[in-house]
Amino acid sequence: MRLIVKFNIVFLAIFLVGLAIAAYVSLDLLRQNARDEVLQHARIMMESALATRGYTSKQVRPLLETQMKYQFLPQSVPAFAAQEQFSDLRKKFTDYDYKEATLNPTNPRNRATDWEADVVNQFRNGTAKGSELIGERDTAGGQTLYLARPIQIKDAACLACHNTVAEAPKTMIELYGPANGFGWKLNEIIGAQIVSVPSALPIQRANHTFKVFMLLLTLVFVVTFILLNVMLHSIVIQRIKELSKLADQVSLGNLETAEFKTRNKDEIGVLTGALARMHKSLVQAIKMLEA
């Protein structure tokens, strides 16, 4: 097997191993970065909802207290305000969603679906690690990442509307009825804030970036492969071929025609010099024998 063929086989084997490692690491890193980007969007949305809740509770609700005696206004409820804000957001970003999913809600639109109820129960049962739950689910629009935080009754003032039907404001009962949203307990987890953010597009961008990266990496390899072959041929193979021809001439007895000349100081140049000295010694020895 020729030297350049052996070199190319070794080079190709090293490249394929390196390419496989680079593909595995880069794809995993790109997808993880895409997931972190989606998660960051979800956290921003969650903080926006919390800011809306705080604003409604501290500034809007006090202004409506007098009117609430005659008519229950959902706009005074922080959860209602947060979800209304995201309803406007969904007009432009239909795949984004925010819901205060509750097991026993006053407002029917807040009732948890099956998968949302599972999220709430993970908080209630203590199976969720920490105060934040992250997961993914398939939807009609593609893969979606959700971020959930528990809704816990920490303020006893909330029980004024949700303890018993008798204690609840009559205006609220007139609006929503006496069947739901009662029997809540202090420190009880009654639901979860759930933000859903589409992850399909960031993953697609990550996959596209991966393909471009691998294409460029392969292109660099091809160029490197060609340049290395040209260099190997001109610096090593061609010079070795010349030495081989000269050695053949010496072996055939053509001592006068063979000339081992080199100006290079590399290993092949050292070998050429050694062959030149050997050739010179051989010529002198033959002349001495002939004499």
Q: List, for residues 78-121, the tens digit of each pLDDT value.
A: 888 888 888 888 888 888 889 999 999 988 889 999 999 999 99
3-state secondary structure of 182: coil
Let me know: does 206 contact 33? Beta carbons within 8 Å.
yes
| CA gap 241, 245 in Å, rounded | 6
Confidence of residue 274 (pLDDT cuts 50, 70, 90): confident
3-state secondary structure of 176: helix
What is the percent of the chain where pLDDT is above 90? 23
Burial string for 200-214 (b: 16+ CB within 10 Å, else e) reads bebbeebeeebeeee
In the predicted model, is pLDDT for residue 74 greater than 80?
yes
| CA gap 110, 100 in Å, rounded | 6
Let me know: does 195 contact 147? Beta carbons within 8 Å.
yes
Confidence of residue 269 (pLDDT cuts 50, 70, 90): confident
At 259 the pLDDT is 66
Q: Which of 27-31, 47-51, 212-216, 275-279 has the lowest mean pLDDT?
A: 275-279
Residues β-bridged to residue 145: 136, 197
At 268 the pLDDT is 74
In the predicted model, is pLDDT for residue 291 greater than 70?
no
3-state secondary structure of 264: coil
In the predicted model, is pLDDT for residue 252 greater than 70?
no
Please indicate, yes or no, whether the overall pTM of this predicted structure exceeds 0.75: no
10 Å CB burial of residue 163 (0-12, 13-18, 19+) is middle
Residue 101 backbone phi and psi in degrees, to 5: -70, 125
| CA gap 52, 81 in Å, rounded | 7
Q: Which of 83-97, 179-193, 240-254 has the lowest mean pLDDT?
A: 240-254
Residue 287 backbone phi and psi in degrees, to 5: -60, -40
Confidence of residue 26 (pLDDT cuts 50, 70, 90): very high
